[in-house]
Amino acid sequence: MVCKECGKEITDESLGYCPECLAPLNEPVIVNMSKDDIKKANKNLEKKEKEIQKKVVNDTVKIKPVKNLGLEKEYEGPFIDLTGYVKSVGTNMTNLFALIGAVCLYLSPFATWMWESLFKVKKKADLFDLGGKNGDLFLQAPVITGMAVILLLSGFFMMLMSAREYVKPVWKFRYNFIARFIPVITATVAFLIVFFNKKYSKSIDSKEAFKKTAVSIGQADKYSYGRGIGPILCLLGIAIYFVSVLIDFLSYTKNKKAQQ
């Protein structure tokens, strides 16, 4: 290459200038910008910087971890941690309430049989009239049989949910309060269907007639009719379990807000 200023041949063009006269090899690029153009460019730059900062803040909020709720860990215990569950019942009131509610609900259909066996009376009408030799209501009303099965399954599900943190298949439902409230709904519906069933009401009325007859012949001490403890156990079980889940829900909500 030959320098345009002095005419000397340049062997090293990477220098960008003539080593003889120091003239630049390439003509400089001149950009004409007005003051308005400079102000506009500065505004655009500031706008882009603010957008980048805003995006960084939003991304930080989105990925903010939730701590102390147990959501970040995985189940590491045995398939069924019976020892851990027994200990939790003694230290965790919500687990204890859930277990008590489940037991009450599970026993409610058998109140008749237990009453007959423990107190040696002829009959003690209860919610389902199951058990004993005279469980005639259970045999004569298929809808009541079906509701009894639903109630027993609801009681089993309540017991399972009370051990949710110690049984691997249900561990993931420990914070799923919709799933934990399901047995409350099913048990309540089953109770209402039975309690207002016509055959159930007629059975109670007929047994009351037997009691009057027993009173007239001086044998009333062997009969104890009425709606009995079955409905009480059923409603008590539903209520206690509901309270246990409600306490857990309120505690979970409070902790979650505290972490945000």
pLDDT in tens, 145-154: 788 889 889 9
pTM of the model: 0.61
Task: Band the pLDDT of 103: cuts 50, 70, 90.
Answer: very high
pLDDT in tens, 194-230: 888 887 777 767 766 766 776 777 765 555 554 567 7
Torsion angles phi and psi, residue 9, rounded to 5: -80, 130
Mean pLDDT of the chain: 76
CA distance 191 to 145: 12
Cα distances (Å, whole numbers) of residue 146 to 128, 187, 217: 10, 12, 37
Torsion angles phi and psi, residue 21, rounded to 5: -110, 0
Residue count (the chain): 260
* Residue 256 burial (10 A CB sphere; 0-12, 13-18, 19+): middle
DSSP summary character for residue 78: -
- In this structure, are residues 223 and 214 in contact, taking their beta carbons and an 8 Å threshold? yes
Q: What angle do CA 15, 18, 23 make, to 5 degrees?
A: 115
User: What is the identity of the amino acid at 10?
Assistant: I
- Residue-range domain boundaries for the chain: 82-259
